[in-house]
Structure 1
Amino acid sequence: MDAATLSELRRPRSYPAVSVLMPTNRRAPDNRQDPIRLRNLLAEVRRRLRDDPEVPSQEADALFHGLERAVEDLDPADAEEGLVLFAAPGGEVHTFTVDQPVEERVVLDTTFATRDLVAAYTRRTRYWLLVLSDNRTRLWDGRGETLTQVEREGFPMAPESLDEAVVGRSAPPSIRDANAPHQLFVRRTVEALEKINARDRRPVIIAGVVRAQAWFDEEAGGKLTVAGRIDGAYEEAAAPVLMDLARPVLHAYEDLREVGVLTELEAARGLKRYAAGIKEVLPLVKEGRGEHLVVERGFHLPGLRGADGVIDPLDDTSPGRVEGEGVIDDVVDNLIESQLDYGGEVTFVSDGFLVDHDRIALVTRF
């Protein structure tokens, strides 16, 4: 899932947009109950659709059967901590697994219940790892401690012959140079990466020999954010090897980025465009005044929604899970979703990094 897909999922649908969310287990024997729980949830979907006077019976059947087909295609080997299913009129069906637990529920509304997807997407470090080589260039989708090879927009990418590369393209001045085919190959690589990054902007880690990295810099021209570099030839390296190499590079980038965030917050404070602490930040974000929300990665907080719709955050020392009418499991996730609704930026930092800002801070638009 990328940023563009998440944005598309969050737009309004015709009623009923059906959301099915269920916590899952990665391993046996706990995962043996998952199919039973999922069948029970689908039975609840069917009952609620059939009992809803606003839903024609033909539409109810179509939505239910679409979810049934999606469930049949699920592979238990892909299970994570949660399963999310969406279906909407017109045959629209989506299936996602998330790496954090979700609350089991069925929701019929004019929008999909995307909050858990938003939380999973925003709280996990995401980056691209580009492995350059003369023979084959690979792009990896980095999400936290997981690397998955990208297989779209021509990746993994092999070079064209010189004749094929020149036809229909403007050749560089050094076309007769022996390096020309490699430079053209890097140009194709950069163009493909830019297309992918346009849908889901992330920092890029570059792996390759120094010569290939120099060609990349020349072609990219500063249009991509380079998080760091891994020197050497890693064309055939497996994901675990690349992850070990990328981890310190990514940590160094995150450290620098966090220092930059602190500088931005202090500048905003001087301009009187700053707020800190959940009780100061919450109303400003809900009014659409948030430009850049900065949150500690592990900050979660329950809350209560009053009869007037106003959310009152609870003390984070409240033991256990809070339950009851009007309870919001996590005000912080709710806040993040509102920030994205208004087109604002969200940045997560290490736990303890915002100790002087009460764990959450906001740069306001005005």
Structure 2
Amino acid sequence: MKIAYIYDAVYPWVKGGAEKRIYEIAKRLASRGHEVYWYGIGWWLNDNNSETIEHEGIILHSVCEPMQLYVNGRRSIREAVIFAGKLLPKLIKEDFDVIDCQEFPYFPCFTAKFHSVFKRACLVITWHEIWDKYWFHYLGKKGLFGWVVERLASKLASENIAVSEKTRKDLEKIGVKNVRVIPNGIDFKRVETVKPSEEESDVIFVGRLIKDKNVDVLIKAISLIKMEMPDIRCVIVGDGPEKGKLIKLAKELGVEDNVNFTGFLENYDDVIAYMKSSKVFVLPSTREGFGIVALEANACGLPVITTNYERNAACEFIDGDNGFLCSLSTKEIAENVLVGMKTKEAMRGKCMENAKRYEWDRIVDLAESFYSDLL
């Protein structure tokens, strides 16, 4: 098959859940003999003048030069519009069997639809999450624009992929049919090869430091635990617009010596190493389209504590045997951290068993079968 993926952020130049998913699936499909293309922003142009390069079997096409994806912590509408506008002249040169376009930031989906009709290709839109009414919570009255564009994008493809059961149900609520769940995955074999970091910790968080992640609640929980465990150690891996406030909060609560902010780690193995040297993974997020990082923590043998919240899809695979669900409460998170630390070794087997079910090779089998069925 000749398959095209469309997403502006390209791994490994940009490291996030959606781009990691495309990378892992695309390189495996390429190794199985399929022609795989990825149309994105040319993040590599600073190091390589060629607009088209091959990376691990994937043919990468530069749609436009690098530009800011985020403005004031939010996705740039300007970037999305420019990318969508410059996409068509690049895309129209090729014929594809399947075009898989990630739903966000929406505008490229309309370009992909035009191409699929003009070239008679099968268009699939992969949905990582549905915001629906959350748009109004996020932007107030201005959220109407996002809500309308999302609804319009949901009507473009006759076949859709959801990365979680939650997203599938959300799509059905707004009238989208023919939705196949193909979850995100992890490279379990690679995780197994990584050695633990020399810096040991009791608690770890990994993710972008934005409001929805609620890392402030975790820091407050650490201050509670410190009353019982003065030497409690917490590692926070990641960067983002909330970092300055979080560092200030840690100082105000007197836990600056208990909490280590590593910043963004370029090397994936370094992230896994930090996980392997910790005891409990905490994801206090109230919005997760999937939550790959929670699976990675399970793969490292760590129980996961996350919030039992409507928009948190990570809840789907945390069942009491591999972690705990709780409310977004400082007290509850602190209590569950203490329980998790005591039961880590007993839960280790179940944690790793859960993670193995999401090995990328299994996920690629699902994707390959789905694409084949479309032809």
User: Do both share a fold (TM > 0.5)?
Assistant: no
Answer 1 or 2: which has greater helix percent. 2
Answer 1 or 2: which has greater strand percent. 1
Structure of higher CA gyration radius: 1
Under a length normalisation based on structure 1, what TM-score does the superposition of the two structures give?
0.26
